[in-house]
């Protein structure tokens, strides 16, 4: 047996997962989404710690290290059974195109996923701040380098124009959804992990924008920049952005771009090109084993998969 499913088989899995996601009870989907927000934020926290400590004179080394460890977040989502908004866009769009999901129930699922991701990301940003991890290494003579890095990263994310962020959101979620798509094609855990890492590394190294990651990065910068211990050090620059900027100057355009990237640039071409191939399409029926089983975060292929 091949270690990978065929593309038509994987498309059918996407369509089936979209149907299950849309029908998952609200409480279970919201909880699975909170977990995904936490998991992506763990990847972001590690990336800040690893990449932020590399001196700028080392050139692109800091960005490459940052990108190299960030995929921890999506690996936790894929293997830990969580519902990530950016992946859910592909699933729900696939379910709609496959005729198994109505627009209303699809939008409901995406709204719950986005809100749960936001809650999880904000929660971890607060916990990381309370732990003082990014304030370590500071002194009366200089601000903590990781706190300064977090503040500057948030400023960079809030200083770009709407359309720049929108396009970066499209390109980001193309790669994220391809990572999730390829993980669905794998039949074993090692293959899943190997297929997830490169696209996620790519979008981070290229500087694209992921809405759920930004739900952690920008609040982390706001919280670090408002800490009295950070502000007391000479040379510490207070953030020039706040919570409204986080929402309007980054999260809205990036979210819209992520939706376009996952739905129009991954789900649509794959479903339209492959769903009528043998073994897919409306006549193929639901994937084996799903009939009569309640969807949920704990089931393989249910609400708990990326």
DSSP 3-state of 23? coil
Task: Tell me the pLDDT of the chain (306 aa) as tens digits.
Answer: 778 999 999 999 999 999 999 999 999 999 999 999 999 999 999 999 999 888 888 888 999 999 999 999 999 999 999 999 999 999 999 999 999 999 999 999 999 999 999 999 999 999 999 998 887 765 455 677 888 899 999 999 999 999 999 999 999 999 999 999 999 999 999 999 999 999 999 999 999 999 999 999 999 999 999 988 788 777 777 889 999 999 999 999 999 999 999 999 999 999 999 986 444 344 344 433 333 333 344 343 334 467
Counting Cα atoms < 13 Å in the Cβ hemisphere of 257 gives 26
User: Could you state, in order of their start, the residue ranges of all structural domains in the chain?
Assistant: 7-283
What pLDDT is stored for residue 276 in this prediction? 64
Pick the CATH number of 7-283 from 3.90.780.10, 3.40.1210.10, 3.40.50.300, 1.20.1080.10: 1.20.1080.10
What pLDDT is stored for residue 141 in this prediction? 53
Kindly report the backbone phi and psi dihedral angles of residue 151, in degrees, each rounded to the nearest multiple of 5, phi listed first: -65, -45
Encoded tokens for 272: 């339209």
What pLDDT is stored for residue 138 in this prediction? 54
DSSP 3-state of 143? coil
Beta-carbon contacts of 273 under 8 Å, excluding residues fewer than 6 positions away, are: none
Encoded tokens for 75: 């690996």
Cα distances (Å, whole numbers) of residue 199 to 25, 137, 148: 31, 33, 28
DSSP alpha helix (H) spans, 206-285: 211-225, 228-231, 243-246, 252-262, 268-274
What pLDDT is stored for residue 84 in this prediction? 98
Nearest to 89 by CA among 1, 170, 188: 170
């Amino acid at each position: 047996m091949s270690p990978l499913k065929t593309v038509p088989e994987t498309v059918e899995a996407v369509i089936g997962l979209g149907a299950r996601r849309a029908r998952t009870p609200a409480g279970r989907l919201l909880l699975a989404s909170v977990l995904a927000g936490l998991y992506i934020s763990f990847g972001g926290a590690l990336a800040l710690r690893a990449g932020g400590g590399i001196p700028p004179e080392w050139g692109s080394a800091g960005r490459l290290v940052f990108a190299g460890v960030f995929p921890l977040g999506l690996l936790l989502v894929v293997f830990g059974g969580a519902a990530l908004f950016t992946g859910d866009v592909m699933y729900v769009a696939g379910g709609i195109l496959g005729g198994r999901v109505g627009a209303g129930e699809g939008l409901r699922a995406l709204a719950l996923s986005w809100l749960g991701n936001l809650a999880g990301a904000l929660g971890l940003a607060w916990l990381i701040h309370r732990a003082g991890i990014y304030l370590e290494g500071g002194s009366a003579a200089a601000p903590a380098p990781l706190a300064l890095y977090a503040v500057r990263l948030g400023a960079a994310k809030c200083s770009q124009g709407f359309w720049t962020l929108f396009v970066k959101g499209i390109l980001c979620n193309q790669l994220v959804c391809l990572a999730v798509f390829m993980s669905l094609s794998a039949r074993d855990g090692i293959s899943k992990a190997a297929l997830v890492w490169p696209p996620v590394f790519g979008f981070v190294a290229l500087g694209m924008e992921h809405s759920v990651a930004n739900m952690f990065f920008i609040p982390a910068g706001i919280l670090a920049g408002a800490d009295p211990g950070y502000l007391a050090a000479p040379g510490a620059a207070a953030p020039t952005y706040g919570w409204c900027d986080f929402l309007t100057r980054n999260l809205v355009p990036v979210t819209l771009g992520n939706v376009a990237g996952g739905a129009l640039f991954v789900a649509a071409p794959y479903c339209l090109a492959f769903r009528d191939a043998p073994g897919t399409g409306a006549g193929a029926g639901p994937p084996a084993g799903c009939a009569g089983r309640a969807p949920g975060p704990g089931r393989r292929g249910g609400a708990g998969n990326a």
